[in-house]
Amino acid sequence: AQKVTQAQTEISVVEKEDVTLDCVYETRDTTYYLFWYKQPPSGELVFLIRRNSFDEQNEISGRYSWNFQKSTSSFNFTITASQVVDSAVYFCALTYNAGGTSYGKLTFGQGTILTVHP
């Protein structure tokens, strides 16, 4: 069975602070995909990043960076110099990778509510 744990229920920071959202996963599969999604107050789920289990390179995209560590089954997300517009619920998710094709079924963590104060 797959499981995703986001231990931080809520985080509150002041604008320009750096913030890291933690994600720990469990899976018996040797190949899988990990994701981060953002859900602003409007409710839509916005895709941020996908990482294949074979690719442990960290990634940076503007103020966003992701640290994937297979040894600790973690896929953490850091926002540098946070802004009020970053306020949202952030979900980490996991899916099985079946021979190079995504299995499709996403298992989500409980989400972390991030509030950035001006």
Partner 1 sequence: SAVISQKPSRDICQRGTSLTIQCQVDSQVTMMFWYRQQPGQSLTLIATANQGSEATYESGFVIDKFPISRPNLTFSTLTVSNMSPEDSSIYLCSVEDTGQETQYFGPGTRLLVL
Binding site for partner 1 (CB under 8 A): 33, 35, 37, 42-47, 50, 52, 91, 97, 101-102, 104-106, 108-111
Structure tokens of 14? Answer: 């002041």
Distances, alpha carbon 26 to alpha carbons 13, 42, 46, 60, 87, in Å: 29, 30, 23, 24, 27
Q: Nearest distance from residue 105's CB to partner 1, in Å? A: 6
CB of 16 to partner 1, least distance (A): 28
Number of H helices, E strands in the chain: 0, 13
Looking at the Cβ atoms of 82 and 95, the one nearer to partner 1 is 95
Residue 44 C-beta: closest distance to partner 1, Å: 5
